[in-house]
A and B are shown apart, each in its own frame.
Chain A
Amino acid sequence: MKQNMSALFCGVLFSLGLGISGMVQPQKVTGFLDLFGSWDPSLIFVMFGAILVYSIGYRVVIRRKIPLFADNFVIPTKKEIDWRLLLGSSLFGIGWGLAGYCPGPAITSFVSFGHSSLLFVSSMLVSMFLFEQIQIRKAKS
């Protein structure tokens, strides 16, 4: 239960961060990506702020043997660059540029119940679901 409550808390905090930063405004995101037009660089400061906290904090936290409420840290260890990373990130970038939503802000915007976020989030969820089903089927065969 402690893990669930902490996850809930982090979800709220994360969402507030996305909202305050402007990441939940698709027009601002496409403005940030519009490098060759009327570029709005403000969103780069979201990354600066987040990385400033996390890059320092990560190195402190990871010195502990285990997290406070769990038995172990679950950190990705994969090092090799593969076609999945390259193709996946490319497709994600195209989708991000098309709608101005990445997964986090899309979820936060969901409660606006606006036409664009409902459509985007539902197609994103269906796509993630189908992806997982195909992976499972592949693993079985």
Chain B
Amino acid sequence: MIFFTESYRLAFLGGLLIGVAALVLLFLNGRILGVSGIIGGLFNPSTRREPWRVFFLMGMLLGGLVLKTLLSFPLGNSLERPTPILILAGVLVGWGTRLGSGCTSGHGVCGMSRLSPRSLLGTVIFMLFGILTVWLLKLLPGGAV
């Protein structure tokens, strides 16, 4: 049974933790856990003076350090992409999530759970375009994936 392999268990366990984190943020602060929105708000004069945004991001970095040092979980850099591709990807993700008002956390977890039609559609679209992009990359000479 593939469902009992470690990577499935960890995926589910991590998912539960993500859900709990989002729920606690809602219960205590009344906020939606959406990373692109939390970052984007820091660049907007009307929401810039909300220090909780910075604290949340610092918590994420702290969590990253715990993963790296105490738990020795693999972080990032497992995929070697050329520099221009990485920059292009960052620009598209930054712009796209702000224009579309959400990313995997805001639309994919919180919005989907609330059955928000915008989030359902947004999630379907970014998954489809992600799948399409990975497929097209493999068609390139050298098969980038």
| A interface, CB within 8 angstroms of B | 2-28, 30, 33-37, 40, 42-55, 57-58, 61-62, 64, 66-76, 78-81, 84-112, 114-117, 119-133, 135-136
Contact = CB atoms under 8 A, between A and B. Distances in A.
A88 B62 contact: no
Contacts of A54: 19, 22-23, 109-110, 113
Contacts, number: 501
Interface residues of B, number: 110
B28 A67 contact: yes
Interface of B: 5, 7-8, 10-33, 35-36, 39-40, 43-45, 51-53, 55-68, 71, 73-81, 83, 85-101, 103-105, 107-114, 116-118, 121-123, 125-135, 137-138, 145
A101 B126 CA distance: 12
Contact of B100 (A87, A108, A129): A87
20 contacts: A8-B58, A10-B22, A10-B56, A11-B58, A19-B71, A34-B131, A37-B134, A53-B23, A61-B23, A74-B30, A96-B133, A97-B130, A98-B85, A105-B76, A107-B61, A114-B77, A115-B77, A128-B43, A132-B40, A135-B44
Contacts of A116: 76-77, 79-81, 86
A108 B75 contact: yes
A74 to B, nearest CB: 6
